[in-house]
A and B are shown apart, each in its own frame.
Chain A
């Protein structure tokens, strides 16, 4: 299952990226990430799994331009990512990032209005995203009137209207219950298929990574590096029923066998900290 692609088009490239930052107590440094190199192929669904605190979110921040690497280079579509989120990159965070003072419709239209897209085009894209994410009946509702899952849909819709070519998701379903997670996973797959965007998902749920991904990067305990990249080989047209397949469990088991030792190391790091 491990292997290199033939010569797929590269969407984003990390070369020898490390991220070191000062520790919270002001004494010394935390080596959070790397050195790490990998190519994100255009149009693929790539997940990153790893023990808690291994630098998964740091990897996403560096890739999104939300944090600068301490060393190494990051490129998106061949251009360097230099401390700013490049055009064409959308990010969905784990925490609720919906704006409580705006209706669902205004939340979704937020980015378009700020970037000066004309009103007719904004309306068209918002209409599509709201329909796509099943929010039509809630368009005039405020986030406080919605469940956690619905609010996360609002955030995904707000990213979707910007028509990103790379969507970065930082544990977007982390706060949701298992059933909602599965359904949201199906919707994410549908979004990925229909938009042809490249998706990078940070998750700690091995089943979720297995179900959704073409490739899964398995990270070591801090400082995070890829100890393996697992290719699932699942068809592009898939949904949560994939979990019923006999070979589904084998991939999850492989992920766990790679991760078990790293997770124990990470627990040791946390108790020592």
Chain B
């Protein structure tokens, strides 16, 4: 095992162990946080409950749609803005200030426009995630070395071939960074939105448990969200590492 992996493992196990000890000895009251072992037991129980599957499906399907829209739409918009400098100059101030806007404040407005249900959540998460992909796409395309584009001309590549065989792979490191952010922001957008106003989904279940002082279920669901998001991000990270390893031997 690498040194960094050791350090990471020690910190994680140490933190979980310390919390377990603090809860077991009563240093941290159960009304505040329950012990990690109790969270795991509560999670097993929650997973077996009737409505768990439908809530997970509801949340993950919204995340999947928002993620796909933000990645594909973000790439397309980034590509167009990169190709039309005047348009890019016009949009630059909006893009720069975009993440200073509290997106969740617009959730009520989205409900008014799109009604209750999945659509406003998907729109909110897509809006939240897409700009990260747009910025990463522009940044990646900006950095495609000019000599590679000249090489494309020497090889008589069509525009589609140039994009597919040169620009995309050359910009890949930046595109992957954008993709990772879009994945994270999609989760945040959907679960955060459900937390505020939705009538279902994991976020709503967490808020519902919180409002009813059901700490066991609340922490079980938080643990579930942590596990899902971490697993998903680690899979993307492993994929990125496999792709990038060859480039920086």
A residues in contact (CB < 8 Å) with B:
64, 66, 84-85, 87, 89-91, 93, 95-97, 99-101, 110-111, 114-115, 142, 144-145
CA–CA, A111 and B172, complex, Å:
21
For the complex with contacts A85-B156, A91-B151, A101-B172, 6 further pairs of A-B residues with Cβ separation under 8 Å are A85-B154, A97-B147, A100-B170, A101-B246, A101-B247, A111-B155
Rounded to whole Å, the gap between the CB of A89 and the closest CB of chain B is 8
CA–CA, A97 and B145, complex, Å:
8
B residues in contact (CB < 8 Å) with A:
145, 147-148, 150-151, 153-157, 161, 165-166, 169-170, 172, 246-249
Q: Which 6 A-B pairs have the closest CB atoms?
A: A95-B147, A145-B249, A101-B169, A142-B246, A97-B147, A111-B155
Query: Which secondary structure dominates where chain A touches chain B?
Result: loop
CA–CA, A66 and B148, complex, Å:
13
Rounded to whole Å, the gap between the CB of A177 and the closest CB of chain B is 21
B151 and A97 within 8 A (CB): yes
CA–CA, A142 and B246, complex, Å:
6
- Listed A/B pairs (5) with beta-carbon separation below 8 Å: A99-B166, A101-B247, A114-B155, A144-B248, A144-B249
Q: Which of A64, A87, A93 has the most CB of B within 10 A?
A: A93
CA–CA, A48 and B145, complex, Å:
25
Tell whether A115 pairs with B156 under 8 Å between CB atoms, given A142-B246, A145-B249. yes
Tell whether A91 pairs with B154 under 8 Å between CB atoms, given A101-B169, A101-B246. yes
CA–CA, A42 and B247, complex, Å:
40
B158's nearest neighbour on chain A, judged by CB, is A114
Picked from B154, B157, B161, B166, the residue with its CB within 8 Å of the CB of A90 is B154
Q: Which of A84, A89, A97 has the most CB of B within 10 A?
A: A97
Contacts of A115 in B (CB 8 A): 155-156
A85's nearest neighbour on chain B, judged by CB, is B154
A89's nearest neighbour on chain B, judged by CB, is B154
CA–CA, A240 and B232, complex, Å:
58
Tell whether A95 pairs with B154 under 8 Å between CB atoms, given A100-B247, A101-B172. no
Rounded to whole Å, the gap between the CB of B170 and the closest CB of chain A is 8
